[in-house]
Structure 1
């Protein structure tokens, strides 16, 4: 594509030409809608506009947006990321204030979140207790309402890490310590968390500016049934416009290897909840797989997720400690990867 058609001629005193919203979106690997939303909600907008009110992004604006993208990719809530990006880009004396198009308070009448969008430990515990009580009552309506409230108030990553996952662990511990009681509670809660995550999952289109790299492959090892962490990762990757293929629970080794050969994934995430299911030989075999033309062979980056891998050697493989860390690794890896050429 001829980039000269998408930029303005350099202005006096400008080191680089100003970019249109479409050109900047392609450069950053996000959608134009995302840039317009950040401008409207958080004041992360262009310093100048044309007479026709079209946005034109200066090099300083681009630097701010690159910081915003890097922070959100690592799991920082958008409001906090926007504030940090503005503070890094502008000295305090000339900082542009964020836009405030809405009245105080969150969406749909929700209380306004903290300045960084993250609940305090007390708030998170209170939300988790409310979610657990709804599960113990087997109240499906309340479960859906509380899950949607958490997602709307905090965003997917924070809602998963600070509300959903801790509540699931607490209910699981209750079941384990009560002589197999509360099994129905755990199953109902898991089902509604899964439903909420899938409701908030979108599959990115092959947008302009996409790298052409293979997708991220998500799978549980053979014999492993715990899929919720991968479902959360799948949903969060979609929000970053990183394509993924979710294969779910207990993927047979032969099927996993066939999928890797067919897709040429930029990365593979293998989840193991228990040490009894974590198969290091399988992970090593996938990591060693290659594709592409001679002299430019590619291999997938391997991420090992779940407590089942604890204490195992993982040479050449990564073990992210949280959803945020996994997102950061996968977003950077995908955007830097060459086009896939699966065998």
Structure 2
């Protein structure tokens, strides 16, 4: 059916607005952390896949890092394996680690790869164990109360932090027209597997590739002020102030700290965007208004 004049004019206007951004980002690497609410419906998943394919088609290099906490929790429950969390991190014993690898490296990773390829992309799935892509070490967690003279060390099992990213492998894939899709499983010097927070992996991948942007999809409209309004165009010093005065708190703190570390590590900008919004990635990259919070380095 032919497009109406108003609809056609709107499409032309959208494309015209996107053009300068396409020119600006051609040849640049953008790292997108994908998971949680952005995975909740088939329409959101299809939209995300199409957005990634479009980015690659116009000469931008997306790298996807995904989570999968709800899927892990669901399978653990079906297997009657109880989940425990310490400071928001899943305690990961050997049995739980097997499930994490099965879900992240198998089910979720291959679903995303298949979806991107179905929409015309050339995605390739990886875990941190492939070519030692993500070298990791055990994460040490400590807790101290006013009554304690020394902090208590808490063992949360096979939970890790990134020690090194194999950027040569990723650069080769990106320049070979592949779209890397990375599961956040790291490998230690002894070959031990580690479950790593996907936001942290995305940030370290962005730093290693000197990415133009790091985009963290979440379930809020962005970083909100005390009146519930979205804050954007923030430099790192302003974000530090918002953390100090309590505006940034709770579950948003780890994401903001991840974004800060990435920008301080050389990533041009980091973005906290709402994964529940259809085509949120394209809206943030290719429109004047954007849909989330942008964080940049302090001005010189």
Alignment TM-score > 0.5, same fold: no
Q: Return the structure number with greater relative CO, CA threshold 8 A, min gap 6.
A: 2
TM-score if structure 1 supplies the norm length? 0.27
**Higher strand proportion (structure 1 or 2):** 2
Q: If you compute each CA radius of gyration, which structure gives the higher value, 1 or 2? A: 1
